[in-house]
Amino acid sequence: MKRLFVKGNEAVAMAAVEAGCRYYFGYPITPQSDIPEYFSRVLPGLNGEFIQAESEIAAINMLLGASATGVRAMTSSSGPGISLKQEGISYMAGSELPGVIVNISRSGPGLGGIDPSQADYFQAVKGGGHGGYHIIVLAPASVQEMYDLTMLAFDLADIYRTPAMVLADSVVGQMKEPLVPNKRGDTKLPAMDWIVRGKGDGEQRVVKSLFLGDGELEAHNWKLHAKYQQMKERECRWEEFETADAELLVAAFGTTARIAKTSVVMAREAGLKVGLLRPITLFPFPEKAFADVTKKCKRVLDIELNTGQMVEDVRLSVARDATVDFYGRPPGTGSLPTPEELFEQIKKHY
């Protein structure tokens, strides 16, 4: 297949269109504005709808409404805008609505800056809104993965009737790389027997998250919980690199993993037995992969572009006698580590 040379943000939009998404609702925010710009050009010609909403809050609720009718739809934003969407994400999780949300995150807190950041990990994987829920979170590390994981996000959202998030940053969002624009697969999707469409001659359908009857909400939450367990069993994805004989395991995701991989190669060239485990799904977190690798490899160095978030999940996942150290820098201008910097850390912890 022909290779293209595109930005990560464009790859997200191209994948969404290939996945059948014809409805996009968003609001401008750096560094993701290429995504709404792409949809505003392309969707009108595909009989779709692009709305530049009055706010992130409105955008996520337009997504909620469109998803309730069974169409593939998405929104995208960055840190502060994702915070505003959390109310709607909680309602979508509670109402069991699919839908894709892309976070090309910024550094924070507050207005922060537009530098690459991994400080939205907690917000994404721990249920950023109220009420106790999870959404699927996918963390691409390349333009190709921006494309492939966006496509996957639509399938997983439909299969589990859940919001799914692609969590990236301005490095993968703004970087141009070769892309093979894969065709949509033939994933078997469950029947959409719950969507609203006008009752016709059938029974009334209601999409809601309010459950006031005795025991109803508890039962609903157990149902959601069972779904999250099922995701943990079936949907964990990760990349292992040089882990077979590793004596030090580097754990990192997204952009940081991309940099760390170069550092691991440098370490191998220097004769150090270092491997890399890169979670691709942040929720569900590949707990078993960490447990398996740390049966033999007892030292882990978790590296993030924040002051320590995913490291908590790594510590909960590794074998009991494994030790987990952390190296990270809070996001901000100039804080993106170089491969040499991470190589020094690897040597220090080896």
User: Nearest approach, Cβ of 217 to another protein (angstroms)?
Assistant: 14
Cβ–Cβ contacts within 10 Å for residue 219, how many? 10
| Cβ proximity to another protein, 6 vs 59, nearer residue | 59
Cβ–Cβ contacts within 10 Å for residue 1, how many? 7
Among 44, 55, 185, 340, binds another protein (CB under 8 A): 55
Query: Which stretch of DSSP H or E encloses residue 104?
Result: strand 99-105
Q: 4-7 and 176-179 as β-strands: parallel, antiparallel, unpaired?
A: antiparallel
Question: Which range, of 106-114, 195-203, 309-317, 321-329, touches another protein by CB under 8 A?
Answer: 195-203
| Cβ proximity to another protein, 130 vs 234, nearer residue | 130
Among 13, 16, 66, 165, binds another protein (CB under 8 A): 66
| Cβ proximity to another protein, 64 vs 267, nearer residue | 64
Residue of 252, 263, 255, 320 lying closest to 286 (CA atoms): 252
Contact between 88 and another protein (CB under 8 A)?
yes
User: Nearest approach, Cβ of 162 to another protein (angstroms)?
Assistant: 17
User: Nearest approach, Cβ of 25 to another protein (angstroms)?
Assistant: 7
**Rg for the chain (alpha carbons), in Å?**
20
The pattern of x and - marking residues 16 through 45 that bind another protein according to CB under 8 A reads -------x-x--------------------
Beta carbons of 77 and 29 less than 8 angstroms apart: yes
Among 57, 175, 236, 319, binds another protein (CB under 8 A): 57
Beta carbons of 128 and 80 less than 8 angstroms apart: no
Beta carbons of 30 and 114 less than 8 angstroms apart: yes
Q: Is 226 exposed, middle or buried (0-12, 13-18, 19+ CB in 10 A)?
A: exposed
| Contact footprint for another protein (CB under 8 A) | 23, 25, 49, 51, 53-55, 57-59, 61-69, 71, 73, 87-88, 91, 95, 196-201, 204-210
